[in-house]
Amino acid sequence: MPYAHITGWGMSIPEPVLTNEDLAKMVDTNDEWIRDRTGIRERRIAREDQFTSTLAVEAGIKALQAANLAPTELDLIIVASSSPEYIFPATACIVQDQIGAAKAGAFDLLAACSGFIYATNMAAQSIRSGSIKNALVIGSETLSRFVNWKDRSTCILFGDGAGAFVLQASERPGGVLSAVMHSDGSGAESLTLLGGGARYPATETTLAEGKHYIQMDGKAVFRFATRVMGSATKEALALAGLKTEDVDWIIPHQANFRIIETAAKYLKMPLEKFVINVDRYGNTSTASIPIAAVEAFEKGKLKSGDKVVFVGFGAGLTWGALVAEWTGPIPAKKQAHPEQYRLFARLRSWARRAIRFLEGFLSRREL
Ligand code: ACO
């Protein structure tokens, strides 16, 4: 049975920064309150011309560069997102086309902020079963488009960004060691974005009622998050045959510093073992775990052979944890240059559109 190794990683964050001071000019809040209650100082907001797929493509190509893998080698692309580009087509298909992953299957996965853990586990299990060899998993968000900028209890929390992993099959032991995924739909009402789906399609009434914005019972989500972060970590570690003492890094979903602090206390682990960057990006939902992983690697914290736990929670309610041995960079035999496939992919995409147009034109004439 092949092992599923994390061989590539990449991130993309928009340049525009929204600080707590900026927010204090928009709603009745202040820097001290936001920092005390959440640990957040600033977050990134996508430019008007940046979409969930734009950030996903950038993060995905960086991950392919790190893995030195051509997009044409990919068998599967999963985009986990709480702010997908459309209901359909899947954001993953837009990514597949734009990066030139000609033979990859692609789909979106919705498990809110736990989505990246779910998606990485799905890709790892597909590799372990032998059905695929190479997968690209992306968490990408433009949640700022769904934030009510007049609601001080939610608008301070979220930010935009994307992070990605490449997973590859190898006979070498290591990579993803275990994972747990959980859900409890009885808590669904505590964190919602109801508008635009089949139950509440966009109408003047749904717009007036603010159904197209994120609605949250912050206290309920807080209580749930502090309960499940530690327990999921322990459960996944037990499945991998590991103890908390064996762990080099915990990379948690970055929603609130106090939630991470509570999990550290529950696990009796020093906070230094937790990778934390919520202060600079806020809650980027599915993107927060891979962004934190990329930064930990780039800062020299996360090294080859390290045992790492990724753990998260989100709307649904969902939660999960995944234990991996960090593979790290693999020496390249030849350079794959995945970024060079983009131009070719664009040309191929135009050519296919032109052929479809001509086919339609000719079939109409035949009728
Ligand atoms: N600035 C100033 N005051 C505020 C603000 C603000 N931005 N927001 C709320 N307040 C006020 C409230 O009105 C309330 O005032 P009152 O006592 O006069 O009524 C007071 O501050 C306390 O409000 P609480 O909501 O009780 O504050 P709390 O300590 O619970 O913190 C927070 C709120 C930060 C939202 C916290 O509950 C939290 O982080 N919850 C978890 C949220 C989360 O992680 N969500 C993402 C899940 S992942 C996903 O799937 C997207």
Domain 3-325 falls in which CATH fold?
Peroxisomal Thiolase; Chain A, domain 1 (3.40.47)
**Smallest CA separation from ligand 1 atom 32, residue:** 218
Q: Given a cut of 80, is residue 366 above it in pLDDT?
A: no
Measured in degrees and rounded to the nearest 5, phi and psi for residue 6 equal: -85, 105
Mean pLDDT of the chain: 96
Segment 3-42, tens digit of pLDDT: 999 999 999 999 999 999 999 999 999 999 999 999 999 9
> How many Å lie between the centroid of ligand 1 and the Cα of residue 86?
29
Segment 170-206, tens digit of pLDDT: 999 999 999 999 999 999 999 999 999 999 999 999 9
**Can you tell me the mean pLDDT for 327-339?**
84
Predicted local confidence at residue 367, as pLDDT: 67
Atom of ligand 1 nearest to the CA of 155: 7
The answer to whether 163 and 139 have CB atoms below 8 angstroms apart is yes
The span from the CA of 192 to the CA of 180, in Å, is 23
**Can you tell me the mean pLDDT for 208-223?**
96
The span from the CA of 76 to the CA of 11, in Å, is 19
Residue whose CB lies within 8 A of the most ligand 1 atoms, among 222, 258, 318, for a mutation test = 222
CB atoms within 10 A of CB 110: 16
What DSSP designation does 220 have?
A: H
Predicted local confidence at residue 67, as pLDDT: 96
Can 113 be counted among the known catalytic residues?
A: yes
pLDDT band at 329 (very low <50, low <70, confident <90, very high): confident
Pocket lined around ligand 1, Cβ cut-off 6 Å: 29, 33-34, 37-38, 82, 112-113, 152-153, 156-157, 191, 216, 218-219, 221-222, 225, 255-256, 283, 285, 314-315
Among 69, 310, 61, residue whose Cα is nearest residue 167: 69
Predicted local confidence at residue 119, as pLDDT: 98
pLDDT band at 333 (very low <50, low <70, confident <90, very high): confident
- Euclidean distance between the first and the last CA atom of the chain, given in angstroms as a whole number: 54
Nearest-10 Cα torsion for 314, 299, 277, 329: -10
The span from the CA of 17 to the CA of 28, in Å, is 19
Q: Given a cut of 80, is residue 1 above it in pLDDT?
A: yes
> How many Å lie between the centroid of ligand 1 and the Cα of residue 310?
25
Predicted local confidence at residue 363, as pLDDT: 86
Question: Which of 121, 253, 256, 277 is labelled catalytic?
Answer: 253
DSSP, collapsed to helix, strand or coil, labels residue 140 as strand
Can 5 be counted among the known catalytic residues?
A: no
Q: How far is CA 290 from CA 60, 147, 149, in A?
A: 11, 22, 26
**Smallest CA separation from ligand 1 atom 49, residue:** 314
State the pairing for strand pair 3-12/17-19. unpaired
Lowest-confidence range among 48-62, 227-241, 304-318, 340-354? 340-354
Predicted local confidence at residue 72, as pLDDT: 96
Q: Diameter of the chain by CA atoms?
A: 74
Q: Which residue has the tokens 């990778």?
A: 275
What DSSP designation does 255 have?
A: S
Question: Which of 113, 121, 134, 155 is labelled catalytic?
Answer: 113
pLDDT band at 232 (very low <50, low <70, confident <90, very high): very high
- Whole-structure pTM value: 0.95
**Tokens for 105?**
């299957």
Predicted local confidence at residue 331, as pLDDT: 80
> How many Å lie between the centroid of ligand 1 and the Cα of residue 32?
13
Beta strands in the chain (DSSP E): 3-12, 17-19, 42-44, 76-80, 105-109, 134-141, 161-170, 175-183, 191-192, 215-216, 249-252, 307-314, 318-325
